Amino acid sequence: MNIMNIKDIQEAFNNNYNFSDLITKSREYIEEIVDNRENNFLAETIEESQKRNELKDFVIEYSKTYLIINKCLGENPSFRIAFNFINPESGYPDYVYEIEYNILGEFQDEFFLEV
């Protein structure tokens, strides 16, 4: 049996999906969502206008990647890239934005979560 260590898997994943470029494009996408916060789902998710406005001051920081494998119903594997919204006053994340990509590295879904 040929065993890969986690570092080998990470390197193969990063190379296959051009990971640094994907992180940059994902962050830019999230920044566009925040810039247009009054006209997208954030207006419904964060009902208070003042809180929505404060999002522009948060630091958007890459956090981690989730590999979603061994799904039920024979679905293909996918992965999620998670970004923290760091509150400038507390220095801690108040929100997490996750973007899910399919096995081909194409956008699949997105999630905005309060921490």
What is the residue-level pLDDT of the chain in tens, covering all 115 positions? 677 788 998 999 999 999 999 999 999 999 999 999 999 999 989 988 888 899 999 999 999 999 998 777 778 899 999 999 999 999 999 999 999 999 999 999 999 999 9
Q: Say what the pLDDT of residue 1 is.
A: 65
- Domain boundaries defined on the chain: 6-114
Q: What is the pTM of this model?
A: 0.90
CB 53 within 8 A of CB 35: no
Q: Which two tokens stand for residue 28?
A: 């830019």
Residue that is written with structure tokens 């929100």 in the block: 95
Least Cα distance to 97 among 109, 54, 106 occurs for 109
For residue 94, the model assigns a pLDDT of: 96
H helix or E strand, kind and range, residue 100: strand 93-102
Give the count of beta carbons closer than 10 Å to the beta carbon of residue 8: 10
What is the structure's pLDDT at 108?
A: 94
